[in-house]
Amino acid sequence: MTDVLRRGRASLAFSFFAQGAGFALLVTRIPAIQDRYGISDALLPVFLAAVPILAGVGSVTTEQLVKRVRPSRLLRWSQPVVLLALVGVGAGGQLAELAVALGVFGLAVGALDASMNMLGVSLQRTYGRSIMLSFHAAYSLGGIVGASLAWAGAHWHLALWVSYLPVAAVLLPATLAGSRWYVDGDPAPVAEEPGARGAVVFRLLLPLCLVMTFAYIGDSTVSNWSAKYLKDVLGSSEQLATVPYNVYMVTTLVGRAIGDFGVRRFGAVAVVRLGALVAAGGFAVVSVAPDASVGMLGFTLLGLGLCVLVPQTFAAAGRLFPGASDAAIARLNIFNYVGFLVGSPLVGALGDVWSYRGAMLVPMVLVLVTLVYARSFAAQPDRYGGGHERPRTADVGRGSNGL
C-alpha cells in the first residue's frame, strides 16, 4: 500500500482514539457533572437523553452535508467542536450553559461518528481487506485512556475543567494536524447491486439497523448496569463493582485488535455469528452467576462477543450500498443512539418490576436475533471480507485536500 493510505489509516485511527477518550471522559464523570450543576435525579435523565437524540440529528444532517462536502472535511471540523464542547461542560457554572454545551456536543458527535465511519468504510474498500475493526480498537483504547483519566480526576478531586482542558489541549491540535492526511475514497458502484444507483433502500438496510440497535442495547446494559448488578445482585464490594466495565473495555479492545484477522480468514458472517453467540453466552453467565467472580467471567465474554458487531455492521452497510455508502452509514449510525437510549431504561424497568437477573436475559435474546440477520453481512462476489482477499490493486482515492 502507498504512503498516502498508510498515513490516512493512521490519522483516522487517531481520530477514533480521540473520540473514544473524549466520550469516556464525559460519561464517566456524570456524577461530578450532576454535582457541579446541581441537577436533580429527576432531571438528569433528560440531559442524558438529549445527547444521543441530538447526535441522531447530527447524523441525519451529515447525510445531507456529505452530498456537498467530503466526509474528511466534516470530520476535520466536527472533532475540535466535540473537544471544545467537552471543555464547555466542565467550565460552565449555570444549568443553561451546560445545556448549550451538551447540545453542541451531541450535534457534533453525531457528525463525528458518521463521518469517521464513512472514512473507515471507504478506506477499507480501497485497501480491499478488513481493517474496520482496527479503527474501533483504537476507539476502545481511547475509551480506556479516557476512563483512566476520569478516575484520576475523581480520585484527586480535580475540577471538571482541570480534567478536561489538558486533554482537549493535547488532542485538538493533534487531530487537526492529522486531518491533513485523511483519505476520502470514492464510491464503487456495481451495476447490478441495490446501492449502485446511489440510493439507499431502507428495507435492505433494516436488518443492519436492528443489529446495530441490539448491539448498543447490550453495550449500554454493561456500561450502565454492570456495577450495580455486581454490587446489589452478586454481593460484591463497591470497589470490585467498578471492575466489570474496565474488564469489558479491555476485552473489547483485544477482540477488535484481532477481529480483522478473523474476518479475513473466515469471513464477516462467521465472525458476526460467533460474536453473537459469545455475547449471548456472556449474558447467560451473568444472569445465573452465583457470585461476583462468575459474573466477571460473564462480562469478559460480553466484551469479546459484542466488540465485533458494530464495526462489522458499518462495513456491511458499505458493501451493501457501494454507490451510496455514506448515506447508508449516516442512517445506520442513528440506530447507535437508538440502542443507547433504549438499553439502559429497558433493563432498569425490567429489573424493578421483575428482577435484574431476568432483565439480563432480554439483551441476550436480542443479541441472538443477530443470527437471523447474519446473511446481511455476507460479502458480494469479488469483494473483501468473504474469507478471501481482493487483489490489492485498488484506487488510492483522494486525500482530504481533494475538495
pLDDT of residue 227: 82
Q: What is the DSSP letter of 229?
A: I
CA distances from 214 to 9, 238, 359, 369 (A): 28, 29, 14, 8
Give the mean model confidence (pLDDT) for residues 156-173: 94
Q: Is pTM beyond 0.85 here?
A: yes
- How does DSSP assign 325-384, residue by residue? HHHHHHHHHHHHHHHHHHHHHHHHHHHHHT-HHHHTHHHHHHHHHGGGGGGGGPPPTT-T
pLDDT of residue 154: 84
pLDDT of residue 228: 85
Does the pLDDT of residue 396 top 50, yes or no?
no
pLDDT of residue 399: 52
96 or 47, higher pLDDT: 96
Lowest mean pLDDT, pick from 38-52, 318-332, 368-382? 368-382
User: pLDDT digits over 295-314, tens only?
Assistant: 999 999 999 999 999 999 99
Q: What is the mean pLDDT of the chain?
A: 88
pLDDT of residue 198: 57
User: pLDDT digits over 173-213, tens only?
Assistant: 999 999 999 998 765 554 454 444 557 888 899 999 999 99
pLDDT band for position 385 (50/70/90)?
A: very low
Lowest mean pLDDT, pick from 45-49, 214-218, 260-264, 309-313? 45-49
Q: How many helices (H) and strands (E) does the chain have?
A: 16, 2
**Mind listing the domains of the chain with CATH numbers?**
1-184 (1.20.1250.20), 187-383 (1.20.1250.20)
Contact of 52 with 176, CB cutoff 8 Å = no
